Amino acid sequence: GQGGSSRRRRRRIPFIFQDHEEVRKNPSRLSSAVGRAAAAGDMRVVTQWLDAAGKGAVNAQTSQGRTALHCAASEGQGAIMRALLDAGADVHTLDNALQTALHIVAAHGHGTCVKMLLDAGADPTVTDSRGDSPLALAERGGRVGTVRLMRLHLQHARSLCGPTGGPSSPAIVRHR
């Protein structure tokens, strides 16, 4: 039943993190397990991983190039995303499809997560391997609130920089 599954999961977590030195040497080898935990909203596993692996591991990537931030974004796990951002997750990291976490949350219409990433400096105009920006994905998916949020973000950023700044200029997209 469910009780046995829960006990097995609890026993496996310490095993994953028991060799802290090995985790520090090769933090990316845990990223798929941590990615699954991030997508599932398992704060305990993500926190243990960050504590065991050290700050530099927060941007470790799976074989698909996804970070824990990408994985949390795929399921709109805002609390996990906040913890990862607070630990230094890079909002500009691209996966193998050249997508950022913002591409993922914009396509799914996770408005709170979109705002969090925009506030952390994510660029709604960066294009992926298909030439799609997070803004274009939200538009195509009919994510009206997400589109409005990103357009307001871009308007605000342009007003801070004046007419010469382009939408991909870091000065435009970073306004914490």
CB 19 within 8 A of CB 26: no
Q: Please indicate, yes or no, whether residues 1 and 84 belong to a single structural domain of this protein.
A: yes
Counted domains in the chain? 2
Q: What is the pLDDT of residues 78-104, one digit of tens each?
A: 999 999 999 999 999 999 999 999 999
pLDDT greater than 70 at residue 27: no
Among residues 69, 90, 111, which one ends one of the domains?
A: 90
Q: Are residues 81 and 106 in the same domain?
A: no
- Mark whether 61 and 108 lie in a shared domain: no
Structural domain for 39, as ranges: 1-90
Label residues 71-101 b or e (16+ Cβ within 10 Å = b). bbbbbbbbebbbbbbebebbbebbbeeebbb
